[in-house]
């Protein structure tokens, strides 16, 4: 059940964490799920760098149950937070419009105040358009769902790699290939 059998020539940039022996990787992921900081884990002898650990987590390499535990322990990622702020801004705007229609000036003013503060929070996070934040959050959700399916089915992983290659997205194809080209020791 490996992609390597069908595309042996591929050389991808590998995830340093995924490349570890299953036992070591499980230990690191358990520490992350328990809330130990990226910095502290990376300081252990022979451990991957903080950036490698982050990339492993944010690229969706974790099994879903571990990913949930890590998200709970470390807080939501920036993409998810921005998406939620943008949604809050939209809800505030809709509430404000409704309040105006109903002639409730006080409620409309409160809604405008909330909308302004949420948009300011987005701007502070470097997001210029709230639509960007929502699209990014949706893309992350889609990627996670796709990775979950690919993890469970080697044919899906193969098809995904081939399609990314066909689109000229070589780096992404390499990334997907390196994740699913060997048996997983976690959550499967
Ligand atoms: Zn990884």
Confidence band of 185 (pLDDT split at 50, 70, 90): very low
Q: Is 49 helix (H, G, I), strand (E, B) or coil?
A: coil
Q: Give me 19's structure tokens.
A: 């490349």
CA of residue 130 to ligand 1 center, whole Å: 30
pLDDT at 130 (0 to 100): 79
CA of residue 149 to ligand 1 center, whole Å: 16
Interval 34-52: pLDDT, tens:
988 888 999 988 899 988 9
**DSSP calls for 81-96:** HHHHHHHHHHHHHHHH
Q: CA 160, CA 156: separation in Å to the nearest integer?
A: 6
Across the range 155-171, mean pLDDT stands at 86
CA of residue 14 to ligand 1 center, whole Å: 8
List, in order, residues 6 or more apart from 161 with CB less than 8 Å away: 3, 7, 173, 176, 177, 180
Q: Give me 114's structure tokens.
A: 């909330």
């Amino acid at each position: 059940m490996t992609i390597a059998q069908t595309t042996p020539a591929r050389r991808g940039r590998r995830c340093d964490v995924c490349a570890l022996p299953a036992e070591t990787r499980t230990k690191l992921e358990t520490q992350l799920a328990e809330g130990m900081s990226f910095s502290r884990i990376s300081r252990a002898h022979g451990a991957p760098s903080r950036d490698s650990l982050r990339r492993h987590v944010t690229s969706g390499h974790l099994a879903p149950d571990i990913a949930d535990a890590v998200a709970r322990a470390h807080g939501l990622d920036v993409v998810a937070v921005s998406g939620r702020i943008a949604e809050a801004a939209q809800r505030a705007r809709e509430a404000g419009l409704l309040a105006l229609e109903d002639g409730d000036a006080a409620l409309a003013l409160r809604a405008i105040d909330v909308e302004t503060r949420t948009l300011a929070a987005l701007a502070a996070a470097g997001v210029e358009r709230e639509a960007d934040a929502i699209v990014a959050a949706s893309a992350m959700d889609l990627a996670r769902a796709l990775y979950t399916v690919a993890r469970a089915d080697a044919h899906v992983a193969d098809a995904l790699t081939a399609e990314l290659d066909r689109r000229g997205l070589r780096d992404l194809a390499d990334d997907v290939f390196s994740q699913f080209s060997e048996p997983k020791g976690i959550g499967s």
